[in-house]
Structure 1
């Protein structure tokens, strides 16, 4: 009987070892079958601010990792520089002003860089003025002095905006300034208004002590400007070789936007933690302004995040063309590629 028990135990042990080996082989095979993570170098076209919160929450919450993406962030000094990087392949994806992309694609030999996701459905361009200087609406700029930083993208749409609103452009004096003194010279009363982004300049001026009641934010979008704003662009070769990675990035970004809408305070914390001397309350005000003014438009609530209306984009291309002699005016299809967007149901947001 003892000998029988010994034989039985040996059989059970052998069976256990065989099963363990099979399980180990199955796990190893599953790990081998899983595709490796795709590395993406993502570049922002300016220093970090609250508008980038959805990207940072997507990273913090593991949304990029869930799509098997290894995303590294960096910043540059403007959309032209970033577009050059993307065109060369130094960055696979980037955030740029879509209106700068339109100008970039106007060149005959331009690389076929396209936007794959529009973050700002409404451009952030604005004239921030002081009511105490007699400015309540855009036509009140007649005879006034506006401070404009070198390279300010909003000025490229000013000719069309002025014409559309019956303003004689020559009656508005633009004073060239450094970006660093944009808010200080307005708060000091050296100019009547400044051109800039609504979520940056207006918030900065309030932070400098300019009374909210004395500030008026004249958003281009409220005066007939149909331009879209910041968009994610892709290197053409990367998008062709790794379409699923681009789609995964877009899905993760949508999750980041949803998280930002749901928890703006947490989004502000994440942004502030990445900025030297970041101010949580200041960034929270910016997050809320960006969501209300630029991201969650009526068009987005109707059609979902990330896309465009082709006719609107065509009209905005026409507005930009008024600012320079167009050599090869791009079409909407040259600027935006919707193949990487999920179905509308996956892009709707409350």
Structure 2
């Protein structure tokens, strides 16, 4: 009898081993370090959504979108997370590179101007006659000329103070500048942590003031995707479920992040996650149409806006930049 039970006990172990061997390994590179907005991907691991798709996903931090895109284009990673505007320029400079966007995560990019009401910044018009702190390599600053055109701002009336990333928010906190360019969910939190009262802060999200650009997207190596379409679709389905989980329980999402980045703070990252969900991910468009796809007319305008500050070598082909072919057709992308 004991021997019979022993043989039965081996069966689950064998099955588990078989299942584990069946899982496809999918390395995934982010654009930045592990922070609150990356919670959906870790929850997709912890809550079994990737496993349900027979995927074993290992997530690596990045050093910016310009780091993630070539990693995917070269095939070092089959999938990544990157700014679609950087992808547009990369594909223009590297025609035919095997990389494309397959799912929009930031329906609104977090590009923003964060100012202080006590220093006269309550609206877009208040930027004229003020001092704006902007790190030269900042993604939000790169979009500022388009933002200025869309809002009829006279750039000659705005004093731009070049600042470093580490000194950007401290200079605003100390009153040395009136506003700064940055990501809405990062600069805002950094200022609050420096003691600036929330009621004194004004966040001008560029997407709410004429900027048609999309933000960060899931990108895929096109050769890999064509050979493994079910892997990419399963990967995207799991991420959509991770987004739903993160929105339902931001604290759990933050804890999943901190488990991989112990130097962080759960409360801070939960707050950052909530801001990213509110400002960039779960927009009105996404709540109505679902997560992941683009509006073709808006994307066409976005490409026109990119051309204001970037000289294309080739006419951009939207179909080479984004495809919805791998998005799940079931209810996984529906937001409630």
Query: TM-score, structure 1 length as denominator?
Result: 0.88
Aligned-residue Cα RMSD (Å) equals: 2.3
Structure 1, gaps ≥5 residues long: 1-16
Looking at structure 2, the residues matched to 114 and 280 of structure 1 have their Cα atoms a distance apart, in angstroms, of 33
Deviation at 1:295, TM superposition (A): 0.9
Looking at structure 1, the residues matched to 206 and 175 of structure 2 have their Cα atoms a distance apart, in angstroms, of 23
2:76 — aligned with what? 90
Looking at structure 2, the residues matched to 218 and 177 of structure 1 have their Cα atoms a distance apart, in angstroms, of 19
Equivalent residue for 2:65, pick from 75, 79, 98? 79
Moved more, 243-252 or 277-286: 277-286
Q: Within the alignment, does 1:168 sit opposite 2:154 as a pair?
A: yes
Deviation at 1:108, TM superposition (A): 5.1
Equivalent residue for 2:220, pick from 219, 234, 254? 234
Are residues 232 and 101 of structure 1, via their aligned partners in 2, closer, same or farther at CA, if it must alter by over 3 Å? same
Looking at structure 1, the residues matched to 252 and 262 of structure 2 have their Cα atoms a distance apart, in angstroms, of 18
Looking at structure 2, the residues matched to 50 and 157 of structure 1 have their Cα atoms a distance apart, in angstroms, of 24
Looking at structure 1, the residues matched to 85 and 50 of structure 2 have their Cα atoms a distance apart, in angstroms, of 27
Are residues 135 and 87 of structure 1, via their aligned partners in 2, closer, same or farther at CA, if it must alter by over 3 Å? same
Q: Within the alignment, does 1:145 sit opposite 2:131 as a pair?
A: yes
2:296 — aligned with what? 310
Q: Within the alignment, does 1:279 sit opposite 2:265 as a pair?
A: yes
Deviation at 1:240, TM superposition (A): 1.2
> How big is each residue's C-alpha offset from its partner over 1:126-154, in whole Å with a ceiling of 9 and x where there is no partner?
00001111111112111222222242112
Q: Within the alignment, does 1:195 sit opposite 2:189 as a pair?
A: no
Moved more, 167-176 or 221-230: 167-176
Equivalent residue for 1:325, pick from 290, 307, 311? 311
Looking at structure 2, the residues matched to 202 and 331 of structure 1 have their Cα atoms a distance apart, in angstroms, of 35
Moved more, 266-275 or 289-298: 266-275
2:50 — aligned with what? 64
1:119 — aligned with what? 105
Q: Within the alignment, does 1:104 sit opposite 2:104 as a pair?
A: no
Looking at structure 2, the residues matched to 166 and 48 of structure 1 have their Cα atoms a distance apart, in angstroms, of 37
How many residue pairs were aligned?
329
Three-state SS of the structure 2 residue aligned to 1:317 is: helix
2:325 — aligned with what? 339
Three-state SS of the structure 2 residue aligned to 1:338 is: coil
Equivalent residue for 2:254, pick from 268, 285, 294? 268
Are residues 281 and 224 of structure 1, via their aligned partners in 2, closer, same or farther at CA, if it must alter by over 3 Å? same
Deviation at 1:186, TM superposition (A): 1.0
Moved more, 51-60 or 70-79: 70-79
Deviation at 1:35, TM superposition (A): 7.5
Larger radius of gyration: 1
Looking at structure 1, the residues matched to 285 and 268 of structure 2 have their Cα atoms a distance apart, in angstroms, of 28
Deviation at 1:195, TM superposition (A): 0.6
Are residues 210 and 169 of structure 1, via their aligned partners in 2, closer, same or farther at CA, if it must alter by over 3 Å? same
8 Å CA contact 2:135–2:141 kept in 1: the answer is no
Structure 2, gaps ≥5 residues long: none
1:248 — aligned with what? 234
> How big is each residue's C-alpha offset from its partner over 1:56-89, in whole Å with a ceiling of 9 and x where there is no partner?
1001111111111111111221111211111111
Deviation at 1:276, TM superposition (A): 3.7
Three-state SS of the structure 1 residue aligned to 2:93 is: coil
1:10 — aligned with what? none
Q: Within the alignment, does 1:211 sit opposite 2:197 as a pair?
A: yes
Looking at structure 1, the residues matched to 163 and 315 of structure 2 have their Cα atoms a distance apart, in angstroms, of 31
Are residues 180 and 34 of structure 1, via their aligned partners in 2, closer, same or farther at CA, if it must alter by over 3 Å? closer
1:258 — aligned with what? 244
Three-state SS of the structure 2 residue aligned to 1:41 is: strand
Deviation at 1:175, TM superposition (A): 2.1
